[in-house]
Copies of this chain bind each other. A is one copy, B any other.
Amino acid sequence: MSSPRNILLVTCHPEPRSLNGALRDHALEVFGRLGHRVEQSDLYAMQWQAVVDARDFPAEEPGARLAVGAASRRATEGGLLTADVVAEQAKLLRADAVILQFPLWWFGVPAILKGWFDRVLSNGFAYGLTAPGARNSSRYGEGKLKGKRALLSVTAGGMTSHFSERGVNGRLEDLLFPVTHGTLFYTGMEVLPTVAAHGTNRVAEEQFAALREAYTARLEGLFSDAPIAFRSQNGGDYDDDLTLSPGLGEGTSGLALHRR
């Protein structure tokens, strides 16, 4: 039995009676049994605003040219972010682990979840950080969310074999690299290998029982399983130009170069 932790469970399916909803309920049951405390962000139920625009930065001068990154920085540092964004950032800061449960749409996250990244992970909160005296930015293994864990739980219509390295869609973990590496690991989080439910247009009862069992094991291992071995930016594997040092990753190519 692990010690009680704080979990943030983010879900984003328009239909609560979906497989995504059932997996959400299952996660809640498992976390309840483990004694973890769970906060939820059900983005559809919250009617989460997906789109970054001038309304995100109410303290900017009206009519001024909007430079998104700079405005985000000023709003973050000045405590001037909107209440919905501040609430999500507080949930992230309280969490020891974040679960993102989503249907794979066009080989990525649904727009509403992309909009959660675009708005919540503001400049000065989740990126743009530099430790005092540091040569490089604090990202890719360092950052404000370091020490937290993250897990993607994905449902996909296609067959498992189609998402293997030689399968027609490409390897699932490569398709999700912009999320696991470029978003979550970027902010400092340790990211676990993705949990995937495949062929989800037709999940029979016995399949769902197997899915649930596999998911249980992954949720139980949330704080003990090995994360994806992404290389940290400032750990010595990248040189001064942030290029992978010669001699590393031999025999590999593509995105796999960025895993130890």
Contacts and interface: CB of A to CB of B under 8 A. Distances in A.
A101 to B, nearest CB: 15
Nearest to A178: B107
A27 to B, nearest CB: 20
Contact of A168 (B112, B171, B242): B242
- Copies of this protein in the assembly total 2
A201 B67 CA distance: 9
A221 interface: no
B15 A201 contact: no
Given A161-B243, A174-B174, A178-B108, A52 B14 contact: yes
B241 A107 contact: no
B114 A165 contact: no
A159 B238 CA distance: 15
A168 B233 contact: yes
A17 B50 contact: no
Given A107-B183, A111-B114, A243-B167, A17 B65 contact: yes
Contact of A105 (B67, B118, B258): B118
A65 B182 CA distance: 34
B107 A118 contact: no
24 contacts: A14-B51, A14-B66, A18-B65, A18-B66, A18-B67, A44-B53, A50-B50, A51-B110, A51-B112, A69-B201, A106-B179, A107-B178, A108-B114, A108-B179, A109-B114, A165-B254, A165-B257, A166-B243, A167-B242, A167-B243, A167-B244, A171-B254, A174-B254, A255-B255
